[in-house]
Amino acid sequence: MRLEVDGKAAFAATGSAPHVPGRRAAVFIHGAGMDHSVWVMPARHFARTGLNVLAVDLPGHGRSKGPGLDSIAAMAEWVVRAMDAAHLEAAAVVGHSMGSLVAYVLAAQHPDRCRALALLGASAPMPVTDALLDAARDNDHAAIDMANTWSHSPRAKLGACPNPGMWMLGGGERLLETAAPGVFHADLSACNGFDPEADAGPVRCPALVVVGEADQMTPARAGIRVSERLADAQVERLAGCGHAMLSEQPNTVLDALTAIVP
């Protein structure tokens, strides 16, 4: 779906189905340097089962024009305006990694637009190492290598992808390479600068926090601490799963989401 947000062209996948007025909605927000394509499977599932799906490309990512935004709060406000452009009111809001922070802030700041919340690979705060920030600032490919390697569990570094024939490390690397110069650094800086006390606030809608027990980027314990900040949260633990949970365990993630998104 092609949208115009803040006067700029933006894109959001709909799970290959047109929106139907009056249906419940689900909004998906990707992580740092990524785009809507990480959500292809849940987007297609919830579109087939009757939801209006909006898997956005944040500014500067995928098919949405840049530049990238420099704070989680700005991204959350942008997603709300994207929902406006798509004529979506309240939605189940689902975010992964950086996108989980965006979803968290959206739910806190716009409770009328978020009927349910799902946070995948979340940590609040979400500190980023200087080595990764510095490499991303310099548009050094080492930033992609670090993020991509650390995003996969030890098992996933050798593959065995549930999606036949797909090499997860290769897919992650290529996707991160598509981000325009500066965007990955802006994303990581936004994560690093996120302060849950100042930037978010109470969240009262039903929530699900999905943690990967082999997640090096946002360890499971960090996700559990996020769940403790939410008024009504369940935790789903993915055994052996790294940060790249949408490619490592897509079926388990979808099973978890079906409990809260519809």
Provide the binding-site residues for another protein, judged by CB under 8 A. 11, 13, 16, 35-37, 40-45, 48, 62-63, 141-142, 144-146, 149-150, 155, 157-167, 169-171, 174-175, 177-178, 250-251, 254
Return the number of other C-beta atoms located less than 10 Å from residue 157's C-beta.
Answer: 13
- What's the angle, vertex CA 33, arms to CA 179 and CA 25, rounded to 5? 110
The tokens describing 224, both together, are 């559990």
Unique residue bearing structure tokens 């990967």: 212
What minimum distance in Å lies between the beta carbon of 251 and another protein? Answer: 6
- Whether residue 64 contacts residue 9, with contact meaning beta carbons closer than 8 Å, is answered with yes
β-strands 8-13, 25-29: how paired? unpaired
What minimum distance in Å lies between the beta carbon of 14 and another protein? Answer: 9
Q: Which is nearer to another protein, 6 or 167 (CB)?
A: 167
Dihedral sign for Cα atoms in the order 80, 85, 89, 91:
negative
What minimum distance in Å lies between the beta carbon of 124 and another protein? Answer: 26
What minimum distance in Å lies between the beta carbon of 6 and another protein? Answer: 22
Q: Which is nearer to another protein, 80 or 260 (CB)?
A: 260
Q: Which is nearer to another protein, 150 or 192 (CB)?
A: 150
Unique residue bearing structure tokens 């992964």: 96
CA distance 230 to 31: 21
Amino acid letter, 12? A
What minimum distance in Å lies between the beta carbon of 154 and another protein? Answer: 9
Q: Which is nearer to another protein, 63 or 65 (CB)?
A: 63
Q: Which is nearer to another protein, 13 or 25 (CB)?
A: 13
CA distance 81 to 8: 12
